[in-house]
Structure 1
């Protein structure tokens, strides 16, 4: 028997050490089935009027810290978030995958099946984080 969506949200939050508050449930629900990364403004719009912005951004921060979401970098100053893979855990993100920014629709997609290529750094350089962003046209925009 399938688990009801509300229970699945609560279970996911509990597995990541978070209480299933109404805001956390709503934010997590906003990412269900979402094929591209969302900005804080996108999430705020999905949650509707009356959303407390401070609570929303605290929720996003705790989701990143607990391995539910990761931040997605692109050329803008807008922070976007995407769901983490199942391997992520608090403080340890294993989302070493390529991101793709569509120049038509402006959506940024996680390409989890494409690993970031290995890079050998010269001596005295130590990478702390890896971001790899490709630009082009997504399949949906090509079809349009």
Structure 2
């Protein structure tokens, strides 16, 4: 299946209109195997969109289960594509993220699930995050 058709079907399945900003943004996320910040998305866009459109689109994608917040650092929030099983209501793609200490990129390790942790009865768990720091393959090779 070609990328354009896949993106259009993804937007349609999540009840979102096929705008130029949404289509271009999804193409960008599909081109990278690591999470991107809003600033990085803006720098990769060929069509100029105002910042409000970019941030609203990122927020909308997160609300509709297309993107998830992979990490947050001095560069801002980094977003990554959700797995296909991630519904709109709640993100179910709880997996490990690894952040490269050299290039600061965040990678999703979709096959590595967060281990089950017993939480005291006095706590209501609202979000689980599991992050590993290290050096990515690209930085090790350079």
Question: TM-score normalized by structure 2?
Answer: 0.93
Quote the residue 2:107 is aligned against. 109
Q: 1:7 to 1:49 in 2, by over 3 A?
A: closer
2:56 to 55, 58, 62: 58
Quote the residue 1:68 is aligned against. 66
1:129 to 127, 130, 137: 127
- Cα displacement (A) at 1:4: 3.3
Q: CA RMSD in A?
A: 1.4
Q: 1:76 to 1:119 in 2, by over 3 A?
A: farther
Q: How many matched pairs?
A: 142
Gaps of 5+ in 1: none
Quote the residue 1:82 is aligned against. 80
Question: TM-score normalized by structure 1?
Answer: 0.92
- Distance in 2 between residues matched to 1:76 and 1:124, nearest whole Å: 32
The question of whether the paired residues in 1 share the 8 Å contact of 2:37 and 2:75 is answered with: no
- Distance in 1 between residues matched to 2:31 and 2:50, nearest whole Å: 24
Gaps of 5+ in 2: none
Q: 1:53 to 1:74 in 2, by over 3 A?
A: closer
SS of alignment partner, residue 10 of structure 1: helix
- Cα displacement (A) at 1:118: 1.2
